[in-house]
Amino acid sequence: MAPSPSRVASRTMSPDPSDDDVLGQLALIEAESNARREELRRIAAELPATVSRRALVRSMVVDFRDSPNKGAIIRRGFSKLLHAPLHAAKRVQLRLRGAK
């Protein structure tokens, strides 16, 4: 089915947008993108540059200690430990198939 000539790409665009309309919308999109980029840079600046393994393990222990759902965390951890060899074998198998 052929698209109808009166179809509009969005509610804000006219059926036959002029160059000025398109440039205005591109400028708006670029301004929003720049605002998001600045926000992400600000958030990234607040994050610590590096975290030591000791601090990471300590925070994990504190989070586990304060968690109300310790049983689910333990079950999920054991499940991951039990499935790790299977996942490793599958990765090796896929790598060998790709090497042929």
What per-residue confidence (pLDDT) applies to 1? 45
The pLDDT tens digits of the residues spanning 58-89 come to: 999 999 999 999 999 999 999 999 999 999 99
What per-residue confidence (pLDDT) applies to 47? 84
Share of the chain above pLDDT 90, in %: 63
The amino acid occupying position 6 is S
**Looking at residues 38-50, what average pLDDT do you find?**
88
Residue 29, SS3 per DSSP: helix
Share of the chain above pLDDT 70, in %: 82
Does the pLDDT of residue 14 top 80, yes or no? no
CB 8 within 8 A of CB 14: yes
CA 29, CA 23: separation in Å to the nearest integer? 10
CA 13, CA 37: separation in Å to the nearest integer? 26
